[in-house]
Copies of this chain bind each other. A is one copy, B any other.
C-alpha cells in the first residue's frame, strides 16, 4: 500500500529540478543534494526521460532538466511513470488479473479508491509543491 523508495526518489528529484527550471543538472549533483544513490538515480532519470518529464543531454556538460514547466507535471505523472497505475488491488488496474471481478462485491471499492487517489495526485503539480 506504499509507494516505493524509487518513487519517493523520483519525486524528490523533480522537486529539485523544479527549483532550477533552466539549469542542466548532472545526476551526481541531484543525487548528492537529495541523498539518492547515484547509480539508482541514473536509472530513475532514464524512466523520467522516456516519459518526457525530463529532457537529458549526453556528453560533457550533459545532464537533465525538466522537459516541461513545473506546473505541467503532476505528482500522478511521476508516480505513474515509476510505478505504473495506482490501484489498491491488481484487479482495479487490470480486470483480467482477477478471475472473479464480475461477481466480486469488493471490486468496485478498489475502483473507487483508485479514482479518489488519482484525483488527489492530479491536483498537485510541482509548481504548487514549491514552498
User: What is the bound-complex CA distance between A11 and B131, given in angstroms?
Assistant: 41
Contact A2 B106 (CB under 8 A): no
Interface residue? A20 (CB, 8 A): no
Q: Shortest Cβ distance from A81 into chain B, in angstroms?
A: 14
Interface residue? A60 (CB, 8 A): no
Residues from chain B with Cβ under 8 Å of A11 in the complex: 106
CB < 8 Å neighbour of A106 from B15, B83, B106: B15
B-contacting residues, A1-37, CB 8 Å: 1-3, 8, 11, 15
When A and B form their complex, which 8 residue pairs have the shortest distance between CB atoms, in order from nearest? A105-B129, A116-B116, A105-B131, A1-B86, A3-B88, A113-B120, A3-B89, A109-B124
> Apart from A106-B129, A116-B117, what are 16 other A-B pairs with CB-CB below 8 Å?
A1-B1, A1-B2, A1-B86, A1-B88, A2-B89, A3-B88, A8-B89, A11-B106, A88-B117, A103-B131, A105-B130, A109-B121, A109-B124, A113-B120, A116-B116, A117-B117
Can you list 25 A-B pairs, Cβ within 8 angstroms, ordered by A?
Answer: A1-B1, A1-B3, A1-B83, A1-B88, A2-B88, A2-B90, A3-B88, A11-B106, A15-B105, A15-B106, A75-B106, A75-B109, A103-B131, A105-B129, A105-B130, A105-B131, A106-B129, A109-B121, A109-B124, A113-B117, A113-B120, A113-B121, A116-B116, A116-B120, A117-B117
